[in-house]
Amino acid sequence: MDDIIIVGGGIGGLTLGLALHAANIPCRIFESASEIKAVGVGINLLPHATKELAALGLEGALARVAIETRDATFFNRFGQLIYQEPLGRAAGYDHPQFSVHRGDLQRVLLDAFRARAGHDRIVTNHHCLGVEQDDVGVTVTFSDGPNGAARSTVRGRVAIACDGINSAIRKQFFPDEGEPRYSGVNMWRGVTRWKPMLSGASMVRAGWLSHGKMVIYPIRAAGSDGLQLINWVAEIETPNYRKRDWNREGSLDDFIGPFADWHFAWLDVPAFIRAADSVLEFPMVDQDPLPRWSFGRVTLLGDAAHPMVPRGSNGAGQAILDARALTMALLQNADPVAALAAYESQRLAVTTRIVLTNRTNPPDAILREVFQRTHDRPFKAIEDVISRDELVALSEGYKRIAGYSKDALRG
């Protein structure tokens, strides 16, 4: 009865579980899937997120499975360099920026939680159907898996919805919420085994959405064959899309055309795409920010609270920051209702600003600015198009809004 009930064993739920355990707050995690598997593709952890994971004693484990990203490098679709800046420790941060396979990150979190809290503290095959509460606790109802017929209930002190973009608890409190907001951009994602490119730890952004944009970065170190596992994302303005589903297979023929002539000195892009193990398709969608997350003894966290378009490496990072803030609120407030309200007060406005900023001025706004000023033509010198001061201002402005400027992290 004293347990915090965490609904969902993804990045947000596992990080919260680790943070609560470190604070001596008992919790249990209930995961819908029958087995927690290494799924997904690449993800970036920015210094504000790695700072929190380091505080949980996970930096070493992450460093063993991730790439420590050293630079962000921007090109137009003609392969011309627009801007380059150091990242993570190379930029003077106290903590690294990691590029990692989502499954590897989840495994690090899962192994740590099981080792510290115990295997019995995470329960699989429990799909949340809803939650009820009274003056002393909550009752969460589960089925045995997403389509299971059996029902069971669990009592706890508080319930935290970490069940992602299709959160049952979010739907319970906002039953009339509209459909996801489509950004007008569809994305295709994949991973390719390829020789290291540029610095071997670069995050590359190239092109622009109207004609095709790529994001490319390594997520696993090279093996004995000298090849890294490299994550890539192709983004194209597309009027039609299908419902969001992280596991939908994509077709090369649907998107490779705009990249057919991307033959750069550092990468043959069409050959690189065609060498992918598999391709996933996903519409870039978000939800309008909610007016509140907390309802008595129940609150939302991560994608269940603030689903955002996958730009700027913010989805997982903001969930990690949510977990820290919620844990601190529970430590500082004996009344759980007051604690959840304090957590919401700290995090809702911040994440709302990021969701809205990602719609209008995302971290790749540098590419948009150059695209518009050059009218999608090659340039003789980037200084003729945009000054370095303007490029730096665009980059630093997003960092401040997303909460990972050096000043914010040292404050």
Q: What is the DSSP string of 149-177?
A: --EEEEEESEEEE--GGG-HHHHHH-TT-
Q: For position 406, what pLDDT does the model report?
A: 64
Copy the structure tokens of residue 57. Answer: 């004693």
CA dihedral for 98, 96, 326, 24, sign (positive or negative): positive
Q: With DSSP H G I counted as helix, E B as strand and the rest as coil, what are the percentages for the chain, rounded to 5?
A: 35, 25, 35
Q: For position 146, what pLDDT does the model report?
A: 87
d(CA 108, CA 113): 9
CA angle centred on 314, ends 312 and 338, rounded to 5°: 150
Q: For position 173, what pLDDT does the model report?
A: 97
CB neighbour list of residue 79: distance below 8 Å, 6 or more residues apart: 206, 262, 263, 264, 265, 266
Copy the structure tokens of residue 1. Answer: 């009865």
Contact between 74 and 82 under an 8 Å Cβ cutoff? The reply is yes
Q: Which class is domain 4-39+103-179+290-360?
A: alpha beta
d(CA 273, CA 282): 16
> 3-state class of 228 per DSSP?
strand
d(CA 253, CA 275): 14
Q: For position 404, what pLDDT does the model report?
A: 65
Contact between 106 and 36 under an 8 Å Cβ cutoff? The reply is yes
Crossing angle of helices 336-360 and 315-332, in 10° steps, is 160
d(CA 214, CA 234): 5
Phi, psi of 209 (to 5 degrees): -60, -35
The per-residue b/e assignment along 219-247, b for 16 or more CB within 10 angstroms, e otherwise, is bbebeeeebbbbbbbbbbebeebeebeee
Mean pLDDT by 10 residues, the chain (411 residues): 91 97 98 79 91 97 97 96 94 94 94 97 96 96 90 96 93 90 89 96 95 95 95 90 67 93 96 93 88 98 90 82 98 96 97 85 84 95 93 80 64 53
